[in-house]
Amino acid sequence: MNDSTPTHADRRRSHAAFSRAKSLIPGGVNSPARAFGAVGGEPIFFSSASGQWLTDIDGNRYLDYIGSWGPMILGHRHPRVVAAIQAALERGTSYGAPTEAESGLAERIIEAVPSIEKVRMVSSGTEAAMSAVRLARGFTGRERIVKFAGNYHGHVDSLLVAAGSSAATLGVPDSPGITAGTAKDTIVLEYNEPQALEDCFREGGDTIAAVLLEPVVGNMGLVKPSREFLEAARRLTERHGALLVFDEVMTGFRLAYGGAQEILGVTPDLTTLGKIVGGGLPLGAYGGRRDVMDHVLPAGKVFQAGTLSGNPLAVAAGTATLDELREHPPYDQLERHGARLEQGFREAAARAGIPAWIARQGSMMTMFFRREPGALPVTGWKTASQSDTALYGRFFWGMIDRGVYLPCSQYEALFFSSAHTDADIDRTIAAAEEALGSFR
């Protein structure tokens, strides 16, 4: 950084916009992750984005490390994606009827993702998870679902138990309005503890319809799976006739073109997708084994429908994004930038004398602020929840004042795009050194 680096103290228009929004929208936001409740202060309102940059309504620019919470792997307003949306728009916005473009996107997904033989389009990752769970229950004739504390699968009633950053007690819903009856068939275990999964199946394996997990977690901060944990999940579901479901809404097409399952070498029975698959527009998908997917109406009897499923604009954006990723793979560049960012953050924290645990996979990363040196690695919610969230809040605002926009919660992974340059990464590391150094 240097003396010409701008600070971002003037956010008066954002303040006014938030005051107005609070009178119209619950909490002033349309998704809680945007509310800045975990870092204090008020959310920033944005007016535009391009490449790796966000511009707020006060005219401040920020290097973006959220990327709309993951979809913008190519950066904002990538020319190929914009052109595809414009061409689709000229033909219409929604038909409520089949299009050839839907089959084209389905072919690309099936070609890319190892587990998917057939796929159904929906409008969000939440809808994909909800539909996959219903399908698993309909296919197996069983009711119980196993999920893991700190894994978030959207705001589905039966899955909003120990979700994301909430520290809910086993089996207790995380939100008013979710009945105990809805949650009673959801079993919550600790991530990365294969013995707990073994015990669960030994006690009631013939009642379990599916095990649902994030193969690389992004919703309690980034947490990697152990090989033993993933192998246990695959082995036990196969042995007991349950389905293994990977939630790749975040990791799909981001960690590799075939998602986390490509690099981890574990193939689930069903996979849920979102974010990148829609190129930044509202689109999700779920797919998997042909014999399972053929239970979905109208081929089978498991009901799922959606007026805007396979929306032409979203399909166009998703298709253009996947084509760009396939034809010009950015993954080596993303890995190189990720390794540099990880090293820079680690060194900056060490120089500032701040205990930190940094977890990264490709272009996803989290720096967990620990309360004491030598704290345990972050392997699940029990260890993630020991983080110093107040210190993360200070770091967040320190980076904002240096023109870097990070996730507004300790328990969210950051994302970066192929639009980020070597200079951007170096600038971000310099900002982190300044911000962390100011804590001494």
Residue 301 known to be catalytic:
no
CA proximity to 280, closest of 100, 55, 97, 49? 49
Whole-angstrom distance, CA of residue 111 vs CA of residue 244: 20
Strand order in 46-50's β-sheet?
46-50, 53-56, 61-64, 404-405
The answer to whether 247 is a known catalytic residue is yes
Contacts of 380 (CB under 8 A, 6+ apart): 148, 149, 150, 190, 191, 192, 193, 220, 223
Q: Strand, coil or helix: what is 321? A: helix
Whether 95 is catalytic = no
Whether the CB-CB separation of 170 and 180 falls below 8 Å is answered with no
Nearest CA among 357, 350, 363, 409 for reference residue 383:
357
Q: Determine which one of 118, 147, 224, 275 is catalytic.
A: 275
Point out the catalytic residue in the list 56, 58, 174, 247. 247
What is the signed CA dihedral for 151, 155, 157, 162, rounded to 10 degrees? 30
DSSP 8-state assignment for residue 71: T
Q: At what angle do helices 79-91 and 312-327 cross, to 10 degrees?
A: 150
Neighbours of 169 (CB within 10 A): 10
Please name every residue paired with 188 in a beta bridge, in sequence order, or none if there are none: 147
DSSP assigned state of 277: G
Q: CA 64 to CA 191: how far, in whole Å?
A: 29
What is the Cα–Cα distance from 276 to 118, expressed in whole angstroms? Answer: 19
- Contact present, 184 and 219 (Cβ < 8 Å): no
Q: Which residues are catalytic?
A: 152, 247, 275
